[in-house]
C-alpha cells in the first residue's frame, strides 16, 4: 500500500471474521477506482469470501485477481447478477455510472456496496431511493475516511460516550494529492466525477452527520475553484462549504487536490470536533513534525489533555457489521437514511457552489 497514492490507498487491518468461510459471498463489478481494494480488504478481513470479479478493462481484472487469488474472472456482469451464491456486489465504477449499476444489482436480489461518491446527480439518488424501497436491498457507501480510519472509529466511540459533551461544531480538512497523469480520463470530466464537493466533499459531510448526530442539515454556502490545473478546465482542485444541522450544530470543511510532493502521505487529513465539555482532533494519515504516523487522537476535556496513537488497536468494525446487517437485515454498520443523507447534502453543496476561480 503506497501511502502517498490516495487513489489506490487500501488500508489493511487485523482479520476479525464474523462469519465462517463461504457463509457470506460477495463479488466485484467495477474496478475504475483503487478504493475497490480497500473495500474488498475490509470485507475479506471480516470473513467474507470473494467469488467473481468483472470489469470491461481486462487488465484491471487481472490485477485484482493477482491481488486476490480466490477471485474468479466473470465472463460478464450478468454472470454475477445471476449467481445465487453472491449476496453483495462491491463496486468502484465511474462515479456517474454507480447509481445505475447499484439499481441493477438490487433488482437482482443482491445488496450493493459502492465507493463514494455514490451519485453525481439528484435524479440518481431519487432513483436509488425508489429501488431500495421496491427491492428491500441495501445501497451502502464506502465513506472510507471515517470507516477505514481507526482514529475516526475511536473518536466516534468517545463522542457517543459523552467525552466532550454535546457537539457544537465539526471542522474538517481533506487535502488530496492530485498525481497526474495516471488518473483516468473520467477524473477530469465534470459530468462523470460530479465535482469536488460531490466527490471528496462527501467524506466531510458524512463525518459531520455522524459525529454531530445530525439527521439533516442546510447547506448555507459553498465554493469551488480551479487554482492550479488550467490544463483540465472542468476540474475543481478546491472546494469548501458551511452547513447548519437540524439540531443547531455547525460544520465547516475544505477539500483540495493541492497536497505538495514533500508530504509523506496523500493528504494531511484532519478533523476537529468541538463540544460543550472539550474537543477532539484527529490527525488521520500523517502527523507533520512528530514521530508517529497516522491515526492520532488528541483530546482535551475539563480535567485532562491527552494525545495517543490508535493504529492497529481499534480495527475497522464497519465491515463485519455490514456483513451481519446483510445477513440479518439490520442497520448497525450504517443506516440507509444516513448513507443517502450524506450523499444528498454533498449534491446540494455542489449544486449551490459559487465558482471563485
Residues 281 and 150 both lie in one domain: yes
Residues 218 and 350 both lie in one domain: yes
Q: Is residue 207 part of a domain?
A: yes
Residues 249 and 180 both lie in one domain: yes
With b meaning 16 or more CB within 10 Å and e meaning fewer, what string describes 240-278? Answer: bbebebeeebbbbbbbbbebeeebebbbbbbbbbbbeeb
Q: Is residue 283 part of a domain?
A: yes
Q: Is residue 1 part of a domain?
A: no
Q: Is residue 340 part of a domain?
A: no
Residue 19: which domain range? 6-143+317-335
The answer to whether residue 71 scores a pLDDT higher than 60 is: yes
Residues 153 and 302 both lie in one domain: yes
Q: Is residue 341 part of a domain?
A: no
Could you tell me the CA-to-CA distances from 197 to 15, 74, 82, 84 in Å, in that order?
Answer: 33, 34, 35, 37
Angle at 142 between CA 65 and CA 309, to 5 degrees: 100
Residues 139 and 226 both lie in one domain: no
Residues 106 and 188 both lie in one domain: no
Residues 81 and 131 both lie in one domain: yes
Residues 305 and 214 both lie in one domain: yes
Q: Give the per-residue pLDDT at 130.
A: 98
What is the torsion angle, in degrees rounded to the nearest 10, for the CA atoms of residue 82, residue 83, residue 84 and residue 87? -100
CA distance 105 to 24: 16
Residues 51 and 108 both lie in one domain: yes
The neighbour count for residue 217, using CB atoms within 10 Å, is 24
The answer to whether residue 113 scores a pLDDT higher than 70 is: yes
Residues 169 and 269 both lie in one domain: yes
Q: Is residue 102 part of a domain?
A: yes
Task: List pLDDT tens digits, range 22-61.
Answer: 999 999 999 999 999 999 999 999 999 999 999 999 999 9
CA distance 170 to 187: 28
Q: What are the grid coordinates assigned to 249, written together?
A: 450544530
Q: How many domains does the chain have?
A: 2
The answer to whether residue 1 scores a pLDDT higher than 60 is: no
Residues 163 and 303 both lie in one domain: yes
Q: Give the per-residue pLDDT at 74.
A: 98
Q: Is residue 63 part of a domain?
A: yes
Q: Give the per-residue pLDDT at 181.
A: 80
Amino acid at each position: 500500500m503506497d501511502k502517498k497514492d490516495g487513489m489506490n490507498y487500501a488500508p489493511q487491518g487485523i482479520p476479525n471474521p464474523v462469519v465462517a468461510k463461504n457463509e457470506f459471498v460477495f463479488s466485484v463489478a467495477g474496478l475504475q477506482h483503487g478504493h475497490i481494494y480497500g473495500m474488498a480488504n475490509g470485507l475479506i478481513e471480516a470473513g467474507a469470501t470473494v467469488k467473481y470479479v468483472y470489469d470491461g478493462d481486462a487488465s484491471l481484472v487481472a490485477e485484482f485477481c493477482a491481488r486476490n487469488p480466490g477471485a474468479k474472472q466473470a465472463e460478464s456482469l450478468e454472470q454475477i447478477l445471476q449467481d445465487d451464491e453472491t449476496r453483495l456486489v462491491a463496486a468502484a465504477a465511474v462515479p456517474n455510472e454507480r447509481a445505475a449499476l447499484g439499481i441493477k444489482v438490487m433488482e437482482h436480489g443482491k445488496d450493493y456496496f459502492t465507493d463514494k461518491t455514490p451519485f453525481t446527480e439528484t435524479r440518481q439518488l431519487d432513483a436509488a431511493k425508489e429501488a431500495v424501497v421496491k427491492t428491500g436491498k441495501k445501497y451502502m457507501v464506502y465513506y472510507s475516511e471515517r470507516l477505514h480510519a481507526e482514529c475516526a472509529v475511536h473518536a466516534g466511540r468517545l463522542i457517543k460516550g459523552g467525552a466532550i459533551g454535546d457537539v457544537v461544531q465539526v471542522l474538517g480538512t481533506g487535502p488530496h494529492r492530485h498525481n497526474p497523469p495516471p488518473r483516468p480520463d473520467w477524473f477530469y470530466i465534470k459530468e462523470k466525477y460530479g465535482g469536488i464537493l460531490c466527490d471528496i466533499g462527501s467524506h466531510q459531510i458524512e463525518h459531520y452527520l455522524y459525529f454531530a448526530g445530525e439527521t439533516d442539515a442546510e447547506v448555507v454556502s459553498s465554493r469551488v475553484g480551479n487554482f492550479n490545473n488550467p490544463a483540465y478546465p472542468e476540474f475543481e482542485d478546491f472546494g469548501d462549504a458551511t452547513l447548519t444541522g437540524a439540531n443547531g450544530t455547525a460544520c465547516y470543511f475544505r477539500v483540495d487536490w493541492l497536497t505538495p510532493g514533500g508530504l509523506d502521505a496523500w493528504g494531511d487529513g484532519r478533523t476537529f470536533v468541538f463540544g460543550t465539555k472539550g474537543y477532539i482532533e484527529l490527525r488521520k494519515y500523517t502527523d507533520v513534525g512528530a514521530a508517529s504516523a497516522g491515526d492520532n487522537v488528541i483530546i482535551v476535556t475539563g480535567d485532562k489533555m491527552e494525545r495517543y496513537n490508535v493504529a492497529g488497536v481499534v480495527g475497522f468494525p464497519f465491515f463485519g457489521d455490514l456483513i451481519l446487517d446483510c445477513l440479518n437485515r439490520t442497520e448497525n454498520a450504517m443506516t440507509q437514511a444516513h448513507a443517502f443523507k450524506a450523499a444528498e447534502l454533498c449534491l446540494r453543496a455542489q449544486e449551490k457552489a459559487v465558482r471563485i476561480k
